[in-house]
Structure 1
Amino acid sequence: MKIGFDNEKYLKTQSAHIQERIEQFGQKLYLEFGGKLFDDYHASRVLPGFQPDSKLRMLKQLSDQAEIIIAISAEDIEKNKVRGDLGITYDSDVLRLMNAYHEQGLYVGSVVITKYSGQESASLFKSRLEKLGIKVYRHYVIPGYPSNVPFIVSDEGYGKNDYIETSRPLAVVTAPGPGSGKMAVCLSQLYQEHRRGISAGYAKFETFPIWNIPLKHPVNLAYEAATADLNDVNMIDPFHLEAYGETTVNYNRDVEIFPVLNAMFQRIYGESPYKSPTDMGVNMAGSCICDDEACKEASRQEIIRRYYDSLKRLLFGTCSDSEVMKIEMLMNQAGINVHDRPVVDAALERAKETQAPAAALQLRDGRIITGKTSNLLGASAALLLNALKELAGLEHERHVISPEAIEPIQKLKTLYQGSKNPRLHTDEVLIALSVSAATDPSAKLALDQLPKLRGCQVHTSVMVSSVDMKQFKKLSIQATFEAKYEKNSVFFGGKGV
């Protein structure tokens, strides 16, 4: 797998650029921190070489100057909004984030509950945090936001919000997810600081879209695919083009809100420090791409994976037809289709041969391994075993788990646990392989190959169980699935599929 991104250069240039922005504004910089701070797997997939915790490591270089403010919307607390990737509510994620930051030596100064209008659940959450010794502030719903600038930038607008007390020159405003009100928190603090005679600035750190690569570059198209549910659109920044005669890329929400932001800056300071949305950003990722073709190919694969994910969610009833159509349009713009993902045709061909569900995996060196459904193993479980044997240099006919070892597990599942499916799933076959490895050197050799599956591509001819999905994720295998059930089953959940 080719490296396309210079991570060490990124850590140095990004922290230096943020330091420059702090110095530009003198006493205080409020940095709106978009995206995921320490588990940015999207960036690591489309920019091979980017480490998922790169932004966290970069911030740690500024740890003596930085404090973190975590924003969470009262509306999201009220409706128990869940992070799709982790399956936990936003309020639980606030506590998870705080613990993670503390463990990394970063100072979390406070939590701010935004869009607060007396919601009982938000008030209870505030009390819970305060009992833990955490400073909590409230920012209120402002009528006419964001268009009524004179009212917003007044004592009745931002002036009614709690003033967040900070003690360090860099205040990083982050959140569990989008729509939490990070920008409004930053702007409210600018107004509050200005009233107190403190000079403060605002900047935005968002990895995507990357402003200094082409609009239709696959990396930027992959970002549109990732945010298809939000209907974000990458576009040329018209303000930057007019001010500097330079073409840069931004996205529609920042371009649409910029006139309002500009008016707010002018009302607070008398003039705006920025001439365009691009000016507000501090992202240096585009300058750290070292192999453009590697990043393009990685991004094309990401778009196809996003397409399959949208088809899966359409099957589950959790996304719309328009989202699928948008990603199809992005695939057309990138000049790709599903057959550009080698494991797709391999899995479908194997399924056609066996007349049963099948799966395919592409190893790092390009070799493709397949797995079929049998009486003992599901297709995904068989695929994992075949891939591990291939990596270990073992003959595929060799049993690293004997049928006699599998039979008791099947009996446990069907006789005592009530499962209708006797075949082993991926987690069960790995446990069986681990047990066999204690006495069989071949099984141990196969088990030792597991780390080599990291980053490999998989496709299955049918939807797999949630257990198999999670197992692929745990192994850092990038898997896609045909959006159809095995045997036209309408039930999809645990290990029953």
Structure 2
Amino acid sequence: MYKIGFDNDAYLKTQSQKIAERIAKFGGKLYLEFGGKLFDDFHASRVLPGFAPDSKIRMLTKMKDKAEVIIAINASDIEKNKVRGDLGITYDMDVLRLIDAFRGYGLYVSSVVLTRFENQPSAVAYQKKLEGLGLKVYRHYPIEGYPANIPLIVSDDGYGKNEFVETTRELVVVTAPGPGSGKMAVCLSQLYHENKHNVKAGYAKFETFPIWNIPLKHPVNLAYEAATADLNDVNMIDPFHLEAYGKTTVNYNRDVEIFPVLNTTFEQILGESPYKSPTDMGVNMAGNCIIDDAATCAASNEEIIRRYYNTLCQVRKGQADQEQVYKLKLVMEQAHIKPEDRKVAVAALKEAEETNGPAVAIELQDGAIVTGKTTSLLGACASALLNALKHLAGIPDEVRLLSPMVIEPIQNLKTTQLRHKNPRLHMDEVLIALSVCALTDYNAKIALEKLSELEHCEVHASVILAQVDVDVFRRLRVNLTMEPKYQSSKLYHE
């Protein structure tokens, strides 16, 4: 059952105030490294129920007259066609999506930086494409011995070799389509160049997770470890903050490990370091806006189990390795949870065993669990969807929302004209058919009106689903997991 645990309005207010304070601290210009997702931050909205997925971008719009955006993308990620897992699009395409989204909010995107540029053919072609679209593009290069070789890094042969990104506003937000894009290096390179131009500028970091002022093993922070199992991130007590202030705060290993190097880098560039700890660098206020700790704990535990199932499926597809599974098992042990705690998974597997075929279970907000099985007319997802809508609308089980007379012509079109091998209707096809029937059928109409009530519901499938059904569930904003096995033993799965 979905329960609010986070005050989003308080977050928007306090977060923008904190960033404004940090700008003032550095005399009027701040490079702000934005970690995580600026748009569609569904991880944050899942573990902090009440957090709006677009909270961070809405907060930035409050400062849009003072802000500009730089987007960093690793040239190697362009070359490898790296895909953003939650959206299913490549990083280079996501940069275009981000630019459109920023502009849609009235924010100014000043440029794109190609980091770790080594004349990769795809990166060169991508730069030409961006410039053809009227965008400014800059190149930043690998530095031998980075980040430890500080004398080289902070020199004309290090940061000095990078192209200086021309900026005009006091808040420069540096973001990226995903981790490993070089956001921090872009910020520090800019500080080096600004200092050479006698311009005072500072650096701060905005990472939503881990949350620095809640316990190390709090489920919200454990869920962050689960989300970054592929990066080998580990939450830890910030030893520098503890030594400097006598206070226990939480950070993660990469920031703690890199801090001595950053501190020396700041001293080389600015004359002295403005920070005593990695925690000092951050401006995140999310921890202050948790209003129901029990709700966030429950939501985070659910997220950890979902990450476990999702990683199992990625391993099955050859997109992840077994080490990530081991790490997620360890996180579950620390949170004192297990896969069987996901009630909807238990229900889906029971239905699959009883029907000897793929099955899907949906847990609704009232706690009811409805299931769907594979039939000659409908896939398990489509069956479960119709059953869930009937439950929400109070329509008896025996009532058919779609008659065979409606479904069969669609099946004929699929198999005869469009040459699909699978005649069963997927979720998108069922929803279109239901929309047409709603014009003349009252039950179809009231069922369709309940579609929005599926948001935040839990769903589990007994097999790896077709991408079309995964996409529909994503658009409905339900929390989907699947068993790590395919319906058939074929080698190729569409």
Letter in 1 for 2:470: M
Report matched runs for 1:53-72 at 5 Å.
53-72=54-73
Residues 164 and 361 of structure 1, relative CA distance in 2, 3 Å threshold: same
Instruction: Identify the residue that residue 454 of structure 2 maps to in structure 1.
Output: 453
- The 3-state SS of whatever aligns with 1:118 is coil
- The 3-state SS of whatever aligns with 1:39 is coil
Instruction: Identify the residue that residue 201 of structure 1 maps to in structure 2.
Output: 202
Deviations 1:210-255 (A, max 9, x none): 1111111110111111110111111111111111111111111111
Instruction: Identify the residue that residue 34 of structure 2 maps to in structure 1.
Output: 33
| Larger mean Cα displacement after TM superposition, 230-239 or 50-59 | 230-239
Instruction: Identify the residue that residue 399 of structure 2 maps to in structure 1.
Output: 398
Measured after TM superposition, the shift of residue 481 of structure 1 is: 1.1
* Residues in 2 aligned to 1:11 and 1:198: alpha-carbon distance in whole angstroms: 30
* 2:129 maps to 1:128: yes
* Residues in 2 aligned to 1:395 and 1:94: alpha-carbon distance in whole angstroms: 47
Instruction: Identify the residue that residue 427 of structure 1 maps to in structure 2.
Output: 428
Residues 438 and 124 of structure 1, relative CA distance in 2, 3 Å threshold: same
* Residues in 1 aligned to 2:421 and 2:96: alpha-carbon distance in whole angstroms: 39
Residues 79 and 348 of structure 1, relative CA distance in 2, 3 Å threshold: closer
Structure 1 contact 350–372 (Cα < 8 Å) conserved = yes
| Larger mean Cα displacement after TM superposition, 446-455 or 353-362 | 353-362
Measured after TM superposition, the shift of residue 487 of structure 1 is: 4.1
Letter in 2 for 1:80: N
* 2:346 maps to 1:345: yes
Structure 1 contact 311–483 (Cα < 8 Å) conserved = yes
Letter in 1 for 2:53: P
| Larger mean Cα displacement after TM superposition, 69-78 or 251-260 | 69-78
- The 3-state SS of whatever aligns with 1:414 is helix
Instruction: Identify the residue that residue 357 of structure 1 maps to in structure 2.
Output: 358
Measured after TM superposition, the shift of residue 395 of structure 1 is: 0.6
* Residues in 2 aligned to 1:487 and 1:123: alpha-carbon distance in whole angstroms: 42
Instruction: Identify the residue that residue 255 of structure 1 maps to in structure 2.
Output: 256
| Larger mean Cα displacement after TM superposition, 478-487 or 390-399 | 478-487
* 2:96 maps to 1:95: yes
Report matched runs for 1:417-496 at 5 Å.
417-493=418-494
Instruction: Identify the residue that residue 288 of structure 2 maps to in structure 1.
Output: 287
> What's the TM-score, normalizing by structure 2?
0.97
Structure 1 contact 27–198 (Cα < 8 Å) conserved = no
Structure 1 contact 343–361 (Cα < 8 Å) conserved = yes
Measured after TM superposition, the shift of residue 387 of structure 1 is: 0.6
Deviations 1:391-430 (A, max 9, x none): 1111110011111111112222233333333222212221
| Larger mean Cα displacement after TM superposition, 101-110 or 117-126 | 117-126
Report matched runs for 1:277-356 at 5 Å.
277-356=278-357
- The 3-state SS of whatever aligns with 2:123 is helix
Aligned length in residues: 493
Structure 1 contact 209–251 (Cα < 8 Å) conserved = yes
Residues 314 and 12 of structure 1, relative CA distance in 2, 3 Å threshold: same
Residues 91 and 359 of structure 1, relative CA distance in 2, 3 Å threshold: closer
Measured after TM superposition, the shift of residue 360 of structure 1 is: 1.1
- The 3-state SS of whatever aligns with 1:486 is coil
Letter in 2 for 1:165: E
Residues 419 and 50 of structure 1, relative CA distance in 2, 3 Å threshold: same
Measured after TM superposition, the shift of residue 79 of structure 1 is: 2.4
* Residues in 2 aligned to 1:408 and 1:130: alpha-carbon distance in whole angstroms: 48
* 2:387 maps to 1:413: no
Measured after TM superposition, the shift of residue 111 of structure 1 is: 1.5
| Larger mean Cα displacement after TM superposition, 208-217 or 369-378 | 369-378
Instruction: Identify the residue that residue 161 of structure 2 maps to in structure 1.
Output: 160
* Residues in 2 aligned to 1:485 and 1:82: alpha-carbon distance in whole angstroms: 22
What RMSD in Å do the two structures reach over aligned CA positions? 1.3
Structure 1 contact 205–283 (Cα < 8 Å) conserved = yes
Measured after TM superposition, the shift of residue 118 of structure 1 is: 2.7
- The 3-state SS of whatever aligns with 1:71 is strand
Instruction: Identify the residue that residue 6 of structure 2 maps to in structure 1.
Output: 5
Residues 151 and 35 of structure 1, relative CA distance in 2, 3 Å threshold: same
Instruction: Identify the residue that residue 238 of structure 2 maps to in structure 1.
Output: 237
- The 3-state SS of whatever aligns with 1:44 is helix
Instruction: Identify the residue that residue 111 of structure 2 maps to in structure 1.
Output: 110
| Larger mean Cα displacement after TM superposition, 47-56 or 74-83 | 74-83
Structure 1 contact 427–471 (Cα < 8 Å) conserved = yes
* 2:192 maps to 1:183: no
Residues 352 and 89 of structure 1, relative CA distance in 2, 3 Å threshold: closer
* Residues in 2 aligned to 1:21 and 1:280: alpha-carbon distance in whole angstroms: 10
| Larger mean Cα displacement after TM superposition, 466-475 or 198-207 | 466-475
Measured after TM superposition, the shift of residue 283 of structure 1 is: 0.5
* Residues in 2 aligned to 1:14 and 1:116: alpha-carbon distance in whole angstroms: 34
Instruction: Identify the residue that residue 226 of structure 1 maps to in structure 2.
Output: 227
Report matched runs for 1:4-23 at 5 Å.
4-23=5-24
Measured after TM superposition, the shift of residue 201 of structure 1 is: 0.6
Structure 1 contact 69–171 (Cα < 8 Å) conserved = yes
Instruction: Identify the residue that residue 80 of structure 1 maps to in structure 2.
Output: 81
* Residues in 1 aligned to 2:100 and 2:351: alpha-carbon distance in whole angstroms: 46
Deviations 1:50-91 (A, max 9, x none): 000000000111111111111112222222222222232222
- The 3-state SS of whatever aligns with 2:360 is strand
Letter in 1 for 2:289: C
Letter in 2 for 1:69: I
Deviations 1:133-162 (A, max 9, x none): 322222122122111101111122111211
* Residues in 1 aligned to 2:121 and 2:352: alpha-carbon distance in whole angstroms: 53
Letter in 2 for 1:247: T
Measured after TM superposition, the shift of residue 311 of structure 1 is: 0.8
Instruction: Identify the residue that residue 386 of structure 2 maps to in structure 1.
Output: 385
- The 3-state SS of whatever aligns with 1:488 is coil
Measured after TM superposition, the shift of residue 131 of structure 1 is: 3.0
* Residues in 1 aligned to 2:201 and 2:97: alpha-carbon distance in whole angstroms: 29
> What's the TM-score, normalizing by structure 1?
0.97
Measured after TM superposition, the shift of residue 270 of structure 1 is: 2.2
Letter in 2 for 1:23: A
Residues 119 and 419 of structure 1, relative CA distance in 2, 3 Å threshold: closer
- Percent same amino acid at aligned positions? 66
Moved over 6 A (4+): none
| Larger mean Cα displacement after TM superposition, 131-140 or 155-164 | 131-140
Residues 220 and 434 of structure 1, relative CA distance in 2, 3 Å threshold: same
Unmatched runs of 5 consecutive residues or more in structure 1:
none
Letter in 2 for 1:481: M
Measured after TM superposition, the shift of residue 490 of structure 1 is: 3.6
